[in-house]
Amino acid sequence: MMRLRREDPRVVGSFRLHRRLGAGGMGVVYLGSDRRGQRVALKVIRPDLAEDQEFRSRFAREVSAARRIRGGCTARLVAADLEAERPWFATQYVPGPSLHDKVAEEGPLTAAAIAAIGAALSEGLVAVHEAGVVHRDLKPSNILLSPKGPRIIDFGIAWATGASTLTHVGTAVGSPGFLAPEQVRGAAVTPATDVFSLGATLAYAATADSPFGHGSSEVMLYRVVHEEPHLQGVPDALAPLVRACLAKDPDERPSTLQLSMRLKEIAAREAHGMGDIRPPAQRARTDRPTGRLPEGYVEDTAGYAEQRTERRTVGTPAPGRPGTGTGAGQGKAQIKGQGPRGGPDSRPSAARGTGSRGPGSTAGRTGGRPAPRTTGTGRRPSRPDPRLMRQRLIVFVVVTLLVALGIALAQKL
């Protein structure tokens, strides 16, 4: 926004003007507000155009058509004065940057964002065309990205369906690079005209450039009519649809309703593929469990085991004591197996883990952890058979009952 200049009016109709929002070929746009504080974007027509009676008549028809537009994707017309010295009209103020500024500052948008914006704009154009109006100047700077979604603004040069695109001086009205070929030739405008402009706008959102490059107005208009658009950089999901919108023949372009439905499908698919919520980052390859110990870990463990072996060897009890041995973990096991006076404990040697162990004992290899219980042959004891244990229990109970019965009978006799 810019401050008001000396030549700028301070009050227009019932609106007080606060700032300049911009200026174009038709006039200056101001930020204003009414007595209730409602903010509006108010455009005042240039003095030279205001003196043209043909322009005034056309402007009156356009304002009348704009009043019929009903849709959430356009800035609602609030008020207008067609008989003023300088005609003006006010629309609802839409906060937010234009699509042009958004792309210029942050770069091309993602496929999901472009498809979502395009779907909303297509739906808005359906409402515009149903009112019998063709925008004729759809471009990135005329699309505002509000918190509630994109909004189409600046219907200043909009025409009723079927009207010519040429002014009385024979020049095309619109922005080179976003005009449709029929506008350049001076043919009648149709809803397909806005579809072409929307396709060029979506291409800009994907590449930050016009699909027909840069150059003078004459060069740009020639490319629009005779050359194919450059769509390098447009996402693959959108490129075929954008190319169809930029067809030279209006009859080959999709309708706004078809375009809206197709873009909604693309937006949903792209959003689902991206998740809107980014997928969790995959773990690095080295973080995945492989079932193997890292090489450094193995080396450190081997060194640590050697140190513990040396310490235990130095701490081995002198020969002659009961139960002494030469195993790596023998000293520690022997201390645990001694009684209060240093003699052997009353527990079996197998329980103390001191039975036939040598330098290659399990305790030495496992870093001091207790070895599993073994039999005298060095094998683990087999688990008793449950069926055999059940039979023995039954026999024991029966014998006990018979003995008790015999004792009772003996006492009676």
What residues are labeled active site?
Answer: 137
Phi, psi (degrees; rounded to nearest 5) at 163: -75, 160
Q: Residue 233 and residue 230: Cα distance in Å, rounded? A: 9
Other CB atoms closer than 10 Å to residue 149's CB: what's the count?
17
Pairing between strand 149-152 and 143-146? antiparallel
Contact at 8 Å (CB) between 142 and 21? no
Q: Amino acid identity of 124?
A: G
Containing 17, the helix (H) or strand (E) segment is: strand 15-23
Strands (DSSP E) along 317-361, which ranges? none
Give 180-189 contacts, CB < 8 A, sequence gap 24+: 180/224, 180/250, 181/224, 181/225, 181/248, 182/250, 183/136, 184/221, 184/224, 184/225, 185/225, 188/162, 188/163, 188/164, 189/134, 189/136, 189/159, 189/161, 189/162, 189/163, 189/164, 189/165
Containing 330, the helix (H) or strand (E) segment is: helix 330-336
DSSP state of 151: E
Contact at 8 Å (CB) between 142 and 26? no
Contact at 8 Å (CB) between 367 and 305? yes
Phi, psi (degrees; rounded to nearest 5) at 31: -95, 120
CA 64 vs CA 58, 235, 295, 306, 326: distances in Å: 10, 39, 81, 95, 108
Contact at 8 Å (CB) between 236 and 196? no
